[in-house]
Amino acid sequence: MSKTLIRGAKVLGGEAQDVLIDGETIAETGTGLSAEGAEVVEADGRVLLPGLVDLHTHLREPGREDSETVLTGTRAAAAGGYTSVFAMANTFPVADTAGVVEQVWRLGKEHGYCDVQPIGAVTVGLEGRKLAELGAMHESAAQVTVFSDDGKCVHDAVIMRRALEYVKAFGGVIAQHAQEPRLTEGAQMNEGVVSAELGLGGWPAVAEESIIARDVLLADHVGSRVHICHLSTAGSVEIVRWAKSRGIDVTAEVTPHHLLLTDELVRTYNPVYKVNPPLRTERDVMALREALADGTIDIVATDHAPHPHEDKDCEWAAAAMGMVGLETALSVVQETMVDTGLLDWAGVAERMSFTPARIGRAEGHGRPVSAGEPANLTLVDTAYRGPVDPAGFASRSRNTPYEGRELPGRVTHTWLRGKATLVDGKLT
Amino acid sequence: MDKQQDPPSDAQPGDARAVLEAPDIARVLTRIAHEIVERAKGADDVVLLGIPTRGVFLAQRLAAKLEQITERKVPVGSLDITMYRDDLRMHPPRALARTDIPGDGIDGRLVVLVDDVLFSGRTIRAALDALNDIGRPRAVQLAVLVDRGHRELPIRADYVGKNLPTSLRETVKVLLAEEDGRDTVLLGAKRTGQ
Amino acid sequence: MQRHLISAADLTRDDAVLILDTAEEMARVADRPIKKLPTLRGRTVVNLFFEDSTRTRISFEAAEKRLSADVINFSAKGSSVSKGESLKDTAQTLEAMGVDAVVIRHGASGAPYRLATSGWIDAHVINAGDGTHQHPTQALLDAFTMRRRLIGPDAGIGQDLSGRRITIVGDVLHSRVARSNVDLLHTLGAEVTLVAPPTLLPVGVDTWPCEVSYDLDSTLPKSDAVMMLRVQRERMNAAFFPTEREYSRRYGLDGDRMARMPEHAVVMHPGPMVRGMEITAEVADSPRCTVTEQVTNGVSIRMAVLYLLLGGNEPAVTPARTTEEK
């Protein structure tokens, strides 16, 4: 088996040390480790993190291979420092049966850039009416534990209650896309001062907050756990904070773009800023950062949503919602959380690897960087700063809101179970 | 077009010399008024149309003098030619000036166009086009305070206050009390390098 | 002025007054035997209408033709647009035909802005109404109508609307006319009050440069002009108000209410009117109602905008009436 010695890496941002990978596992950590028989990677003070885990990725395959495939999506994941991604269920066909989730899971295994854990749909066809075969998906080879109708809200209170109850039998979790559908009919952007001026249909914060409030109460009532996808408002933070203080088993995620961008950008009418939930206000952004720092929000998830160029090169109302995120997530988190002093790198590892792996029950991921653990690792040049160039993306799509924006941090190496998927910023 | 041949701030009064002073201007206008009466045989169907800005003031002064001579009211108005210029695409569009046609119109009348300086003739060409859209005069004549030569079109004035031979490197600037606070015609040199 | 006219908010006070003054001269052309000027000869303007709006299209077309522009009318209905061709492809196709300006009406807010700023085309873009965003020529013709009525055609030259009190009543939420008018009237120094049921006002309206009231009766005696917005009957089904009857009782303008307005005050409406809903026939047909004048003025305003954007080698510079020299 091959050996790799990572020399002089700041593990989780701490003191520089050496990490020896032997085969698929971490053999040894410490200082002055022998390089004998090992390929040496001079970390040179870069930060070594556990491989990142994304609980919210759209890989688009099957059905929209023009925007992303499992191959291109997992390559993008590796380039962004991820070793495990959870693939959302809103494909064509919808991942609402054991057959579809197994197909996605196999594709991920074959390509070998990043583990792919399929998320199953909560309801048949994401239609919100009839529970999908949650148990069958769990028992399939894909061993689905996270279920979500993401893109659509499980808005019917009874269906949501049943789903929460049902997955208790096998430790599953419902990841809710919190969006009250009636309050968001025709919604194009955050409802507020900017939408009033631009004449774009408003997506009010209360449409998210009311669903979150309902669902934490439902989770409490039935004694299940619930996960909130892409939480985006200051009000949602308050509700989750309250729920956690009551001991309700709720976890929440925030996307990188909601940590950085605001609805002021919509004034450009450039659909690259069109996303669901929409970009909110500066006040929301600050509340989300604070909540991520204090643990009210548990994790960062990308909501990586690739779209072909033509779906964004048009008028706002006609454009698709979503942004790619896998290849810029860590940089945005460094910009908004680390460089602002809100989080240290151990905190980042917690929120981008340990906790998402725990919520999604991703075996072998989100483990400490210590001897005997699977060698899922990512090495980050945190001193780097430069403009985002979508032309260099591994993703098939280029719909990033950060084009040309200067961001810190660059992932230089990623190892998936000891095998390098990214070396010196280049995919293997 | 002539109004645009020289950028406005080219000639400062300091480096220009007066070729007509206020009494000269008054005298030539009186002469032109008499010539109009004479050639128009009493001027009973004359309509004076000034071309903004200074042509309008000159037309009003001429009308007053004609009224003195003929003891009859002489219709006077203004004709803005901006929208008919042939050099519109060479400059940003300008604010329009007023076109004010006297109540009885111009059909069958003798229209005397009045302008301050006759240069290339393009302004008058535009004025003839504009007139065409307003009515059908019996005849059109042209009165100018100064004819500085350098015509680019087959146009000549019927009444000229002063023939002023100039070079293309010179500028002619008419100042009138109504607009500029004093009456004078200045001949200056174009600023070099322009 | 800028290269395009996308939003009334983009106009400075001097730009707006220049447009109104220019429109005043254009209005006089309509009194001539030949209502045509050679100004835009050889320029091609396309009226690109993705939404039905016969009145706005005809108004632009009349303005373009009076300025001797070559006019191409492109209506999205039954065209390749309904077959999935994008705004971008349509615009580029038209530009390939050598179009100097695009007058665009689109159901999506921001479509004209996208057209002007995305690098798809080089032509000038004039917004003829986009979604619930802006309709700047409507605001200009409204301001022009107010200036003529409240100050006078000649006395108004060079003037703005400082101190005039304008009340806009109705479905502000869905109205590009209201947005454009608030922006422009504020720029021109007028005091604007919006009157509507709270359901028909956008969240965030409190940041607009105007007053907001839910009570029409208390606002009318303090108004120099009252602009009634169209209220579509469909809004009732979306629970914006309970019934048509209740809406017109609280927010409709009838003869009794009109009598509470100052004597000089005018009633305006961008059209088309829903008689019996926001306005009664008595008011609509009264001499205080400027609806038909607004239509006439629309042509003059659009001529002014077209001239100032397209008449020269670049858009008009805000003028100082400089001393001309020969």
List the single best residue of C87, C109, C184 to mutate versus A (max A Cβ within 10 A).
Answer: C109
Residue A194 C-alpha, separation from nearest chain C C-alpha, in angstroms: 8
Interface of C with B in 66-105 (CB under 8 A): 67
Position B4 scores a pLDDT of 43
**Is omega for the bond preceding B23 within 30 degrees of 0, making it cis?**
no
Q: Cα angle vertex A49, ends A43, A55, to 5°?
A: 145
- Is C105 annotated as contributing to ligand binding? yes
Q: What band does C76 get if pLDDT is binned at 50, 70 and 90?
A: confident
Using a CB-CB distance cutoff of 8 angstroms, which residues of chain C are in contact with residue B180?
323
- Is C176 annotated as contributing to ligand binding? yes
In this structure, whether the domain defined by B22-168 belongs to CATH 3.40.50.2020 is answered with yes
A182: nearest CA partner in chain C: C238
Residue C181 C-alpha, separation from nearest chain B C-alpha, in angstroms: 24
Single-letter amino acid, residue C284: A
H/E/C letters for each residue in chain B? CHHHCCCCCCCCHHHEEEEEEHHHHHHHHHHHHHHHHHHCCCCCCEEEEECCCHHHHHHHHHHHHHHHHHCCCCCEEECCCHHHCCCHHHCCCCCCCCCECCCCCCCCCEEEEEEEEECCCHHHHHHHHHHHHHCCCCEEEEEEEEECCCCCCCCCCCEEEEECCCCCCEEEEEECHHHHCCCEEEEEECCCCC
- Is A424 annotated as contributing to ligand binding? no
Verify C-B touch: 3 or more CB pairs within 8 A. Answer: yes
- C320 CB near a chain B CB, below 8 Å? no
Q: Average model confidence (pLDDT) for chain A?
A: 97
H/E/C letters for each residue in C258-321? HHCCCCCCEEECCCCCCECCCECHHHHCCCCECHHHHHHHHHHHHHHHHHHHHCCCCCCCCCCC
B3: nearest CA partner in chain C: C326
- C315 CB near a chain A CB, below 8 Å? no
Chains in contact with A, where contact requires at least 3 CB pairs less than 8 Å apart = C
Of B95, B132, B148, the CB nearest to C18: B95
Q: What are the boundaries of each domain within chain A?
A: 3-47+373-384+405-427, 51-360
Q: Cα angle vertex A365, ends A362, A369, to 5°?
A: 160
Position C321 scores a pLDDT of 41
Position C79 scores a pLDDT of 55
Measured on CA atoms in the order B8, B13, B18, B24, is the torsion positive or negative? positive
Decide if pLDDT at A101 tops 80: yes
Position B9 scores a pLDDT of 45
Per residue in A109-125, pLDDT (tens digit) is 999 999 999 999 999 99
**Buried-exposed string B64-94: b where 16+ CB fall within 10 A, e elsewhere:** ebbeebbeeebbbbbbbbbbbbebbeebbbb
Q: What band does C52 get if pLDDT is binned at 50, 70 and 90?
A: confident
Give me the half-sphere count of Cα atoms (radius 13 Å) on the Cβ side of residue C294.
25
Verify C-A touch: 3 or more CB pairs within 8 A. Answer: yes
The residue among C236 and C309 whose pLDDT is bigger is: C309
Q: What band does C197 get if pLDDT is binned at 50, 70 and 90?
A: very high
- C75 CB near a chain A CB, below 8 Å? no
- Is A58 annotated as contributing to ligand binding? yes
Measured on CA atoms in the order C152, C155, C159, C164, is the torsion positive or negative? negative
Contact between C109 and A204 using a beta-carbon 8 Å cutoff: no
Q: Which SS3 state, helix, strand or coil, does residue A419 take?
A: strand
User: CA–CA separation, B29 vs B26, rounded Å?
Assistant: 5
Single-letter amino acid, residue B5: Q
User: CA–CA separation, A381 vs A46, rounded Å?
Assistant: 5
Q: What band does C84 get if pLDDT is binned at 50, 70 and 90?
A: low
**Is omega for the bond preceding A181 within 30 degrees of 0, making it cis?**
no
Contact between C133 and A199 using a beta-carbon 8 Å cutoff: yes
User: CA–CA separation, C217 vs A373, rounded Å?
Assistant: 76
Backbone angles phi, psi at A30, to 5 degrees: 155, -165
Decide if pLDDT at B5 tops 60: no
H/E/C letters for each residue in A284-303? HHHHHHHHHHHCCCCEECCC
Q: What are the boundaries of each domain within chain C?
A: 8-135+294-310, 136-291
Position C317 scores a pLDDT of 61
Rg (CA), chain A: 20
Say what percent of chain A tops pLDDT 90.
98
- DSSP class of residue A388? B
User: CA–CA separation, A221 vs A214, rounded Å?
Assistant: 10
Per residue in A185-206, pLDDT (tens digit) is 999 999 999 999 999 999 999 9
Per residue in A370-425, pLDDT (tens digit) is 999 999 999 999 999 999 999 999 999 999 999 999 999 999 999 999 999 999 99
Q: Average model confidence (pLDDT) for chain C?
A: 91
Contact between A317 and C107 using a beta-carbon 8 Å cutoff: yes
Chains in contact with B, where contact requires at least 3 CB pairs less than 8 Å apart = C
Decide if pLDDT at B6 tops 60: no
Q: What does A336-380 look like in DSSP terms, one character per residue?
A: IIITTTS--HHHHHIIIIIHHHHHHT-TT-S--SSTTSB--EEEE
C-alpha distance from residue B122 to each of B125, C25, C164 (Å): 5, 22, 43
Using a CB-CB distance cutoff of 8 angstroms, which residues of chain C are in contact with residue A310?
86
Residue C93 C-alpha, separation from nearest chain A C-alpha, in angstroms: 15
Of C106, C130, C204, the CB nearest to A195: C204
Position B166 scores a pLDDT of 94
Position C2 scores a pLDDT of 84
Contact predicate C286/C5, CB 8 Å: no
Residue B70 C-alpha, separation from nearest chain C C-alpha, in angstroms: 30
In this structure, whether the domain defined by C8-135+294-310 belongs to CATH 3.30.70.2660 is answered with no
Of A204, A313, A316, the CB nearest to C110: A316
Contact between C86 and A314 using a beta-carbon 8 Å cutoff: yes
- Is C222 annotated as contributing to ligand binding? no
- B172 CB near a chain C CB, below 8 Å? yes
- B83 CB near a chain C CB, below 8 Å? yes
Among the residue ranges A263-277, B152-166, C65-79, C122-136, the one predicted with the least confidence is C65-79
Position C30 scores a pLDDT of 86
- DSSP class of residue A88? P
The residue among B95 and C64 whose pLDDT is bigger is: C64
Position A32 scores a pLDDT of 92
Residue C50 C-alpha, separation from nearest chain A C-alpha, in angstroms: 12
Measured on CA atoms in the order B88, B90, B95, B99, is the torsion positive or negative? negative
**Is omega for the bond preceding A69 within 30 degrees of 0, making it cis?**
no
A186: nearest CA partner in chain C: C108
Contact between C326 and B10 using a beta-carbon 8 Å cutoff: no
Using a CB-CB distance cutoff of 8 angstroms, which residues of chain C are in contact with residue A202?
202-203
Q: Which SS3 state, helix, strand or coil, does residue C323 take?
A: coil
Fold classification of C136-291 is: Rossmann fold (3.40.50)
Residue A386 C-alpha, separation from nearest chain C C-alpha, in angstroms: 25
Segment B165-181 shows an average pLDDT of 94
Segment A289-303 shows an average pLDDT of 98
Using a CB-CB distance cutoff of 8 angstroms, which residues of chain A are in contact with residue C106?
315
Q: Which SS3 state, helix, strand or coil, does residue C14 take?
A: helix
- Is C272 annotated as contributing to ligand binding? yes
What are the percentages of helix, strand and coil residues in chain A, rounded to 5? 35, 25, 40
Contact predicate A123/A90, CB 8 Å: no
Position C170 scores a pLDDT of 96
Token pair for residue B18?
Answer: 């007066």
Q: What band does C90 get if pLDDT is binned at 50, 70 and 90?
A: confident
User: CA–CA separation, A56 vs A303, rounded Å?
Assistant: 5
Position C318 scores a pLDDT of 56
Measured on CA atoms in the order A269, A275, A277, A283, is the torsion positive or negative? negative
Per residue in A3-31, pLDDT (tens digit) is 999 999 999 999 999 999 999 999 999 99
- Is A190 annotated as contributing to ligand binding? no
Position B89 scores a pLDDT of 87
Contact predicate B80/B59, CB 8 Å: no
Of C36, C314, C323, the CB nearest to B133: C36
In this structure, whether the domain defined by A3-47+373-384+405-427 belongs to CATH 2.30.40.10 is answered with yes
- Is C43 annotated as contributing to ligand binding? no
Contact predicate C306/C101, CB 8 Å: yes
Q: What band does B8 get if pLDDT is binned at 50, 70 and 90?
A: very low
Contact predicate A60/A69, CB 8 Å: yes
Query: Between B and C, how many CB-CB pairs are < 8 A?
Result: 92
Q: Annotated active-site positions of A, please?
A: 303
Q: What band does B1 get if pLDDT is binned at 50, 70 and 90?
A: very low
Contact between A315 and C87 using a beta-carbon 8 Å cutoff: yes
A270: nearest CA partner in chain C: C114
- C323 CB near a chain B CB, below 8 Å? yes
- Is A131 annotated as contributing to ligand binding? no
Residue B112 C-alpha, separation from nearest chain C C-alpha, in angstroms: 19
CATH (residue range A51-360): 3.20.20.140
List the single best residue of C21, C39, C318, C325 to mutate versus B (max B Cβ within 10 A).
Answer: C325
User: CA–CA separation, A324 vs B103, rounded Å?
Assistant: 70
Of C307, C312, C324, the CB nearest to B89: C312
Decide if pLDDT at C235 tops 90: no
Segment A138-144 shows an average pLDDT of 96
Using a CB-CB distance cutoff of 8 angstroms, which residues of chain C are in contact with residue A317?
107-111, 131
Position B43 scores a pLDDT of 74
Q: Which SS3 state, helix, strand or coil, does residue C129 take?
A: strand
Decide if pLDDT at A1 tops 80: no
Per residue in A46-72, pLDDT (tens digit) is 999 999 999 999 999 999 999 999 999
